[in-house]
Each structure stands twice: as C-alpha cells, then as structure tokens.
Amino acid sequence: MRNTLADAFESTPRDVIATGNEYPSHYVLAAHAHRRSQLLYASSGVLTAITGEGSWVVPPRRALWIPAGVSHEVHMDGPVSTRSAYVIQEATFAAGLPQHCQVIAVSPLLHELLQEAVDLPPEYDLGGRDGRVMALLLDEIRHAPALPLSTPLPRNKRLSALCRKLLERPSQETKIDDMAQRAGMSRRSFTRAFRAETGMSFTAWRQQACLLAALTRLGKGEPITRVAIDLGYGNPSAFTAAFRRVLGAAPSRYLSAPKR
C-alpha cells in the first residue's frame, strides 16, 4: 500500500500490514501514536523521531521500531522515502519483538521484504506466498541488531526542556557548568541528576547529540569540514575519529547504503 495513511488500515484483519510513503524535505509528522507497533524504515533519506523518552536518528537503510501506543513526531531531514510495517500487539509479543523504541540495522533481505510487502493487497492470502513473506519479515525484524542512534531525554521537565533545546543546536563547546546554571543546580547536583535521568554522563550525552546531528546534516550533503567546526570539533579529523569510535565507521561509509 503506497502513499497511504496507516490509520485507515489499523483494523485490517491481518497481523502485519505495510505502507510506503514519500515525503518532501522538512516535512513534519506531528505527534501521534498507533494501535499497532511500527517499523519505520528510511529506504532513502534521513529522518529524526522524537518521543517523550528521547530522540532517534534514522539514516538511509536503517529502521526505527516504535511500540504500539508510543507518541512520536517525525522530522524529515531532506526528501525521505519510507516503508513501514505495522504489527498487532499479539504478533509483536509472539515474535519476541522489542518493547522499547530502538533503531535497527536493515539487512538486504529485510529491505527486499519491506519493498515487497508494500505492494501486497491489504487482505493478502495468509496461507500463500504473501503470508510467508510477512512471516519472514517479522523474523528478520526480530534478528536485526540494534544500533546506538538515540539520545535519551530526562524525565525531569526542567532538564528535558534544556536537553531538547540543546538538541536543536548541539555543540561540543556546551559546558556542564553552563547547563547546571540554566537548570538552577550546582554542578554536582546537575551531573548526578543527569546520569540518574538518562543513564549517561552529560559529556557522553553531548557527544551523542553532536554525532547524531552530524548524521542528519551529512545526509543532506553538507561538507564534513563545516559540520565538524559547527559542532565544536577542532578539525575534521577529530570529528571523524569520534564518529568512528562511537558508531564504528567513518561518516561517508556509515551513510552509504549497505551493499546488496
């Protein structure tokens, strides 16, 4: 089902339904939730999803798993082509699929299954080839490895508001003392509260926010030198080293589509 809204098919009598959509640059899907869990796949382009728990960046050929009932808004960082699979709760539990948001790697097989799934009729034959395609799709989602492409948000409203603002323009030059002052806290109280709320030190969180912001900008074709300097790195080499250390590959390789 291409270029369709999932809400119209929520009641379709199938465990899994799939849709495909094309979005223009800077398009925003306002906060919403589904009765089904969703695998949101960026077939091309980069998108960012935000929930009450954090922010997730989804580069090309990766996907975000969103459990049923989780309110999320989605920002398209440039033109984006998506493929989505929506799974009822019973099938989610039976397949052992995640109960929290996470970005996953998409194998060449899962890519092809998603491409095929969006062209199946809404009430496909459960006992035939179409039903086997959807069953295999669920199995591939279950075996997909999770990727470190999220930045958690504190539950504390004051800290969350500060972090959301920093996510808009993250920088390695943002100091702990400045954040503590804005929060009306001592440095010691701030660092303790931040780790308790996010599970990360502020320094690690700041670096993660910078690297994920870099992914969205590099995905739109911005020069690596400009991105590195804007994010507060001394030079492109320092940025690339940090990127490789955290994400496991150089930026150009990470953004390239996996070989099929």
Per-residue pLDDT tens for 226-247? 999 999 998 999 999 999 998 8
Mean pLDDT score across all residues of the chain: 92
Domain ranges of the chain: 6-147, 154-255
Per-residue pLDDT tens for 2-30? 655 566 677 899 999 999 999 999 999 99
For tokens 């589904």, the residue is 34
Mean pLDDT of 94-115: 95
Contacts of 256 (CB under 8 A, 6+ apart): none
Nearest-CA neighbor of 41 among 13, 25, 60? 60
What's the pLDDT at 260? 44
Where does the pLDDT of residue 253 fall: very low under 50, low under 70, confident under 90, or very high at 90 and above? confident
Per-residue pLDDT tens for 111-161? 999 999 999 999 999 999 999 999 999 999 999 999 999 999 999 999 999
pTM for the structure as a whole = 0.90
CATH architecture of the region 154-255: Orthogonal Bundle (1.10)
Pairing of strands 62-66, 54-58: unpaired
Classify domain 6-147 at the CATH topology level. Answer: Jelly Rolls (2.60.120)
Distance separating alpha carbons of residues 120 and 22, to the nearest angstrom = 18
Contacts of 144 (CB under 8 A, 6+ apart): 63, 104, 105, 106, 107, 110
Per-residue pLDDT tens for 43-55? 999 999 999 999 9
